[in-house]
């Protein structure tokens, strides 16, 4: 039986990477406060897990959750806050509904900011750390993934600034970068994107038919890794005595890190070829 290793908060715990991280941490003796918005069936029955209802986009909901967790942990505080909750909004920026664009930033950027603000007193009390789950599109811009990339780029910038602000209290701020992971988040993003296209002006949609077909074909050929690989990286970020600033969850992420350092023109051309966009001509 693993001994208790303190308490950790994980957002977006109702599936995919979040559920895998909850199970991995709980299995190592950590008390996990798993935040969900509604359904918690993915983590039902996992020993050491305490489900907390919280909507990361609602500051009042986040504040209330922080009060509940504070009541439970008392003066022991938290060992870590893992900002994992996220969504993917994709498609041509010209056709992305404005409410979807707003939702992208509310969940991926504002959400971690609200959570960090509310739970920092518990991290100070527990000598804890902030672990933010990002994405390679934060530093490798990919056509038709502009919203998700921009939201994660903003999160990484906030993380860097926060690292300096919290240094005096020795509270590390860590980034975990998943690659393409086999979770439902991509299917949900695809369904939402198709719905948006169905509601958009058909004439403007037609301008992007070739692009979208090429990107869909390239995406179908991508290799995916299980969410447990990302969960393992999150465990390292939580448990390391001196955590690194950045953890890659797969070898593909390390390759993309190298791509991000290429000259911009070369990088853009490489991405266009990878996604089958380089030979497309403008529609009449």
Long-range CB contacts (within 8 A, 24+) of 16-19: 16/181, 16/183, 16/184, 16/185, 16/227, 17/84, 17/133, 17/178, 17/181, 17/183, 17/227, 17/230, 17/231, 17/234, 18/84, 18/85, 19/43, 19/227
- The helix (run of H) or strand (run of E) holding residue 107 is none
Nearest C-alpha neighbor of 107 from the set 93, 131, 136, 87:
87
Residue 187 has pLDDT above 90, yes or no: no
- Strand ranges across the sheet with 31-36: 49-53, 31-36, 7-10, 80-83, 129-133, 173-177, 246-248
**pLDDT value of residue 51:** 96
**pLDDT value of residue 281:** 84
27 Cα distance to chain centroid: 22
What's the token pair of residue 86? 């996220």
Model confidence pLDDT, tens digit, residues 60-87: 999 999 999 999 999 999 999 999 999 9
Q: Which residues make Cβ contacts (< 8 Å) with residue 93, sequence separation at least 6?
A: 146, 147
Domains of the chain: 7-274 (3.40.50.720)
**pLDDT value of residue 225:** 86
Q: CA–CA separation, 50 vs 34, rounded Å?
A: 6
Q: Please check whether residue 82 is in contact with residue 11, taking contact to mean a CB–CB distance below 8 angstroms.
A: yes
**pLDDT value of residue 198:** 81
Exposure on the CB side of residue 88, measured as CA atoms within 13 A: 21
Model confidence pLDDT, tens digit, residues 6-36: 899 999 999 899 999 999 999 999 999 999 9
Residue 1 has pLDDT above 50, yes or no: no
Residue 188 has pLDDT above 70, yes or no: no
Q: Please check whether residue 10 is in contact with residue 52, taking contact to mean a CB–CB distance below 8 angstroms.
A: no
Residue 129 has pLDDT above 90, yes or no: yes
**pLDDT value of residue 235:** 98
Model confidence pLDDT, tens digit, residues 207-259: 999 998 898 888 888 887 889 999 999 999 999 999 999 999 988 888 888 99
Q: CA–CA separation, 141 vs 260, rounded Å?
A: 9
Count Cβ atoms below 10 Å from residue 187 Cβ, excluding itself.
9
**pLDDT value of residue 112:** 98
b/e per residue, 219-230, with b = 16+ CB within 10 A? eeeeeebebebb
Q: CA–CA separation, 226 vs 190, rounded Å?
A: 19
Residue 186 has pLDDT above 60, yes or no: no
Q: CA–CA separation, 31 vs 12, rounded Å?
A: 16
Mean pLDDT lowest for which of 81-95, 140-154, 163-177, 221-235?
221-235
Tell me the residue ranges of DSSP E strands in the chain.
7-10, 31-36, 49-53, 80-83, 129-133, 173-177, 246-248
Paired residues of 32 in beta bridges: 8, 49
Eight-class DSSP state of 71: H
Model confidence pLDDT, tens digit, residues 87-124: 999 999 999 999 999 999 999 999 999 999 999 999 99
DSSP string, 130-189: EEEE--GGGTS--TT-HHHHHHHHHHHHHHHHHHHHHGGGT--EEEEE--SB-SHHHHHH
**pLDDT value of residue 108:** 98
Q: CA–CA separation, 211 vs 214, rounded Å?
A: 5
């Amino acid at each position: 039986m693993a001994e208790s290793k303190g308490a950790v908060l994980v957002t977006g715990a109702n599936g995919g990477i979040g559920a895998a991280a909850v199970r991995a941490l709980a299995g190592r003796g950590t008390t996990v406060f798993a935040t969900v918005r509604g359904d918690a069936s993915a983590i039902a029955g996992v020993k050491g897990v305490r489900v907390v209802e919280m909507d990361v986009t609602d500051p009042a909901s986040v504040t209330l959750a922080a009060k509940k967790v504070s009541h439970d942990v008392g003066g022991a505080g938290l060992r870590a806050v893992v900002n994992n909750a996220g969504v993917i909004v994709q498609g041509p920026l010209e056709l992305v509904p404005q409410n979807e664009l707003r939702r992208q930033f509310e969940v991926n950027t504002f959400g971690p900011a609200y959570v960090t603000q509310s739970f920092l007193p518990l991290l100070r009390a527990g000598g804890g750390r902030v672990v933010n789950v990002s994405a390679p599109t934060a530093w490798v811009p990919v056509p038709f993934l502009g919203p998700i990339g921009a939201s994660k780029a903003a999160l990484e910038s906030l993380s860097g600034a926060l690292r300096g602000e919290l240094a005096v209290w020795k509270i590390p701020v860590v980034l975990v970068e998943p690659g393409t992971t086999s979770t439902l988040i991509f299917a949900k993003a695809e369904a939402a994107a198709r719905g948006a296209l169905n509601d958009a002006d058909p004439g403007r949609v037609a301008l992007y038919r070739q692009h979208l077909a090429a990107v869909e074909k390239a995406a179908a050929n991508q290799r995916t890794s299980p969410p447990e690989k990302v969960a393992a990286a999150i465990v390292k970020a939580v448990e390391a005595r001196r955590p690194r600033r950045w953890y890659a969850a797969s070898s593909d992420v390390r390759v993309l890190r190298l791509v991000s350092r290429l000259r911009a023109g070369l990088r853009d051309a490489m991405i266009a070829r990878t996604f089958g966009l380089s030979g497309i001509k403008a529609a009449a």
